[in-house]
Every structure is written in C-alpha cells, then in structure tokens.
Amino acid sequence: MRKTFLFLICSSFLFVSGCGDRMDLENAAFVLVLGLDLDEEGRLLVHTSNPVFSQEAEKRQDMKKTAASSLHNSRVQLNAQSQGFPAVGKLQVILISKKLAEQIDPFLLLEYLYRVAKNPTNARVVIVDGSIDGLFNAQEQMKDKPRIGVHLKDIVDTGFEGNETVDVRLQKYHYQVFEKGITPSSTELSYNNDEIKITGTSLFNSEGLYTSSLDLEETPLLLILIKETETKSPQFTFPFSSNSSDGEGGEGHNFQSLTFAIQKMKKKVRVSVQNGQFVFKESIKVDIDLTEIPTDVDFEKNKKEIKKAIEEHLKQKFSNLIKKFQENEIDPVGYGLYARSFQYKEWKNVQDDWPKAFSEAKIDFNIDVTIRNQGVMK
C-alpha cells in the first residue's frame, strides 16, 4: 500500500518536469550569427541570422536587422525581440563592424551575453572590414556555400588552424578585457561579392577600441609569441641568395626563395627594469624544417649561412611587429604578465596604464634556430 502510494507520487512528477523551460524546436529560432554595426547616423544596428528548417520556405536562412537609438535601447531589444532571440544559446559567431569597433568598446554591448547563463561563451569574436549588411547580402547570394552561421564558423576555424588568425572566443575576449597586462585581439574578416576571407587579426587598445590590424604574414608571428602554434607549424619564406654561389642561377633565381616551417618552439622571457624602463629579453629556440631552398644554393656548404639568415630574418620580423605594437600602445602578446610575475613592485606603479609603459619598454630578441632536416633532397 505504502509503496504504491510512493510510486504514484513519484510518477506524478513525470508530468511537471521542466514545464517552465520547455521549448519546442518548431517555435525556436536558433540565432547562429549576431552582427553589430552602426548606421550613417551612428545608431546601433543589430543583425541576426537563424536557419529556417521549413521545407516550404524558399530561403534557407532568416536574416533580420533592427536599429536601436541608444546602447541601452539596443540591449533591451536584444532581450525583447521575441522571435529573434529565444535561442541565442547556439550562437557561433559574433560579427562586429570595424566602424563600430573604432567608436565604441564592443565589450560594453556584449555584457548581456556573459551575464545570462543560457548564453554561450564559445562564440567566435570577429571584426568585419565593411558593413554587416553587405556581408549578409553577399553571403546570401553565394549559392555554393552553406548557411552563414556554418560558413563563417568554418572559415574562422580553418583560419585558426592555418595560422591565419587568433582563436578568440567570448570567454577569452572577456579574459583579455579584464587582464591588465594584455590588450584584446580578435579575428578579422573581409568580403566581396564572391568570397568571404580572413585578412588577419584585429588589435584593440586599452580602451577596447579597434586600433590596427595584423595581416596574414604578421599574424603567425603573434601566434608564435603567444605560443599558439604548437601543432600547426607555421611557414615563413624570404628571398635568399648565397655569397658562395656563383650567381648564375639564371632567371629562375628571382622566383625561388628560402622557405621553412617551424616545428618546435621554446620561449623564455627575462624581465628587468633599468631606470624605470622595462627591458624584456626574449629568447626563442626553434626547430625548423627547410621546405624550399633555391636550387643554386648548396645546403651542405651554406648550412651556417642559412641558419644565420633565418635567425636574422625572424629577428627582423619580430622587431618590426613589436615596433608596430609600441607605436599603437597595445600589448596583444601579454608582456604585462611577465612584468607582473617578475617585477611586481615596478608593475604596481604602471599596472593601470600598462600599454603606455609597454610602449616605452625595450624588447630584445635572441633567436636560436636548429635546422632539423632539409627534406628528401640533398
């Protein structure tokens, strides 16, 4: 008798489970892409795209646009748009137009996504060179491409795998904004009528505003400095001719260059303070594979020369990169972390304006290259 009673009570709970949070797939609009832009009058434009599953519908995706008079208003609308936002939980990509990022700290607009537990923190943060409207329209015309959410996600993910850009998700962006010793960076896209492509990395200053970009050649260098290249062996190439070669390489000489892939990397940073100026001594040890050598260069004879040239080349590249950072007063690498860890007293004086202190710092590179192999050719 008692057991039946208990059983009945328990089974009655079957009907109540999750009644308030129930969501039917038919009624849900899964927002895969969220775009933030400014119109001509400086008002905020919020774009969304969600896939349409209905077979009768001609379009495979539903793209929406709302204007908001102020930031606050837009946030209210983000919450209130009943059709567009019930299921932002599957968000894959957040697009922010460069125009907006130059004027407003995008982080302020995204607060809502962090606060509500339902929202994902794995969406990719992407800066778009151009208007979001244009991107949406262009993508819709591309008949051979999947829905925009999947399409953009694939582009960004393969871009990261190919060392073309940084992998910054909402969670990491939050970290970069709050960490005093680093300035934010994110993926950058551009588009035309036929294709959407990654153009590198966008960099933000300490106020959170867009300041400059790294192109496809500079981005791998940044990735090396933040140690995110471990399994992806970035390649570098530069023209090389040997002194000892007879210089009769013919016409082909100009087309050939020295190419190498970085396989293994070790990095060590020493920090000291001299006369109030931070001095970073960065020693990088890399193991490389040569993947292309100009035909008129004899590897065995010029081994040392090649090694030296590569070291010089990398050093030059890194120094130029750092110069660029310092000119813009940004520190996307996070040298501030080293400063805090090893020179805490000095760091405390400058921690609230670290990028400024970084722009006056001195950074020395010491690069040690080991040529692991030169391929199957002699």
Partner 1 sequence: MKKYALNEITTSQFIFFIYKTQVGMGILTMPRITAEEAGTDGWLSVIFGYFLAIFISLVIIKVMEKYPEDTLFDLLPKVFGKWIGKLFIIGWIGYTGYFAIVLLLMTVFIIQVWIFPQTPSFLVMWLFLIPIYMITRSGIRVIGRYAEFVYFITLWMVPLLLFGLKDAHWLNLLPILKEGWKPVLVAVQKTVVPFIGFELAFILYPFLKNKKSAFKGIIIANTLTFLLYMYVIIITYVYFSPDEIKEYTWPTLNILKSIELPFLERFEIIFLSFYMIILSMTIIPFLFTAAFGTSKLFGQKSHKIHVRIYIGVIAFFSIFYTPIGQNMESLGKWADYLGIGFGYAFPILFGLYVFIYTKLKNRRLSA
Residue found by looking up tokens 């920090």 in the block: 271
Work out which of 65, 169, 315, 372 binds partner 1, going by CB under 8 A: 169
Are the C-beta atoms of 93 and 153 separated by less than 8 Å? yes
**Nearest distance, CB of residue 297 and partner 1, angstroms:** 40
Work out which of 89, 134, 208, 249 binds partner 1, going by CB under 8 A: 89
Per CB under 8 A, 317 contacts partner 1: no
Per CB under 8 A, 162 contacts partner 1: no
Work out which of 7, 79, 158, 178 binds partner 1, going by CB under 8 A: 178
Size of the site for partner 1 (CB under 8 A): 30
Work out which of 90, 232, 285, 307 binds partner 1, going by CB under 8 A: 90
The window from 15-23, 56-64, 325-333, 370-378 that contacts partner 1 (CB under 8 A) reads 15-23
Work out which of 158, 341, 366, 373 binds partner 1, going by CB under 8 A: 341
Tell me the two tokens of residue 324: 């660029």
Tell me the two tokens of residue 321: 């990169």
Cα dihedral 127→131→134→136 (10° resolution): 40
Are the C-beta atoms of 44 and 71 separated by less than 8 Å? yes
The window from 12-20, 42-50, 244-252, 322-330 that contacts partner 1 (CB under 8 A) reads 12-20
Per CB under 8 A, 117 contacts partner 1: yes
Distance CA 43, CA 34 (A): 16
Name the residue nearer to partner 1 (CB basis): 3 or 378. 3
Work out which of 66, 77, 81, 171 binds partner 1, going by CB under 8 A: 171
By C-alpha distance, which of 85, 80, 92, 101 is closest to 146?
92
Per CB under 8 A, 120 contacts partner 1: yes
**Nearest distance, CB of residue 344 and partner 1, angstroms:** 5
Per CB under 8 A, 10 contacts partner 1: yes
Name the residue nearer to partner 1 (CB basis): 208 or 249. 208
By C-alpha distance, which of 314, 320, 335, 331 is closest to 258?
314
3-state secondary structure of 269: strand
Distance CA 351, CA 340 (A): 8
Cα dihedral 124→125→129→134 (10° resolution): 60
Fill in the per-residue mask, 122 to 161: x = in contact with partner 1 (CB under 8 A), - = not in contact: x---------------------------------------
Work out which of 67, 138, 216, 337 binds partner 1, going by CB under 8 A: 337
Give the phi and the psi of residue 54 in degrees, each rounded to 5: -65, 135
Per CB under 8 A, 20 contacts partner 1: yes
Per CB under 8 A, 340 contacts partner 1: yes
Are the C-beta atoms of 225 and 320 separated by less than 8 Å? no
Tell me the two tokens of residue 374: 């030169």
Tell me the two tokens of residue 63: 């793209």
Distance CA 93, CA 34 (A): 7
The window from 14-22, 195-203, 310-318, 364-372 that contacts partner 1 (CB under 8 A) reads 14-22
Q: How many CA atoms lie within 13 A of 169 on its CB side?
A: 11
Give the binding site for partner 1 (CB under 8 A). Answer: 10, 13, 16-21, 89-90, 117-118, 120-122, 169, 171-172, 174-175, 178-180, 334, 337-338, 340-342, 344
